[in-house]
Amino acid sequence: MIYRRAEYGDLAELLRLYRQLETGETSSASKDENENLSGAIAHVWDHVQGKKEYAYFVAEEAGTLAGSCNITIIPNLTRGGRPFGVIENVITDSSHRRRGIGKALIEMAVAYAKESNCYKVQLLSGSERTGAHRFYESLGFSGTSKRGFDMRL
């Protein structure tokens, strides 16, 4: 398994993984956009390339992505101006689970947050995903120190 920062050419494979992540949710992009890599998705991918505040990490095996997560570094006016990190879109391909891939990817994101002088890193998980909650807690995240809220738009 190769662990690395995602490259420009990884978009098609990332979108394949994200289709597993979005099961049961309405995808923010149409199937046509996912397949031809045009429109808003390609624009977002172009936008994040080479910017320090966005990092996508991937696990690759035999030319196929087995997992990914991303972190966004958010500027902050508190805590002496130290930023914080938000981890999102944590996914391990269903055929590669229980092999430590998610752990390694999360650890890469946390290390990136430390390198970026973040004072904290946070993530959200679906309220009924208790297995994922145990996984995140095993990596040092607290499920009780804060309460997360979201509003779907």
Q: CB neighbours of 132 closer than 8 A, spacing ≥ 6?
A: 125, 126
In angstroms, rounded to a whole number, what is the distance separating the alpha carbons of residues 88 and 72?
A: 8
Question: Looking at domain 2-138, does it have CATH number 3.30.420.40?
Answer: no
pTM, 2 dp: 0.87
The pLDDT tens digits of the residues spanning 29-86 come to: 445 544 556 688 999 999 999 999 999 999 999 999 999 999 999 999 999 999 999 9
Domain ranges for the chain:
2-138
Long-range pairs for 40-47: beta carbons < 8 A, 24 or more residues apart: 41/11, 41/15, 42/11, 45/8, 45/11
Query: To which H or E segment does residue 44 belong?
Result: helix 39-48
Is the model more confident about 24 or about 146? Answer: 146
**pLDDT tens digits for 98-115?**
999 999 999 999 999 999
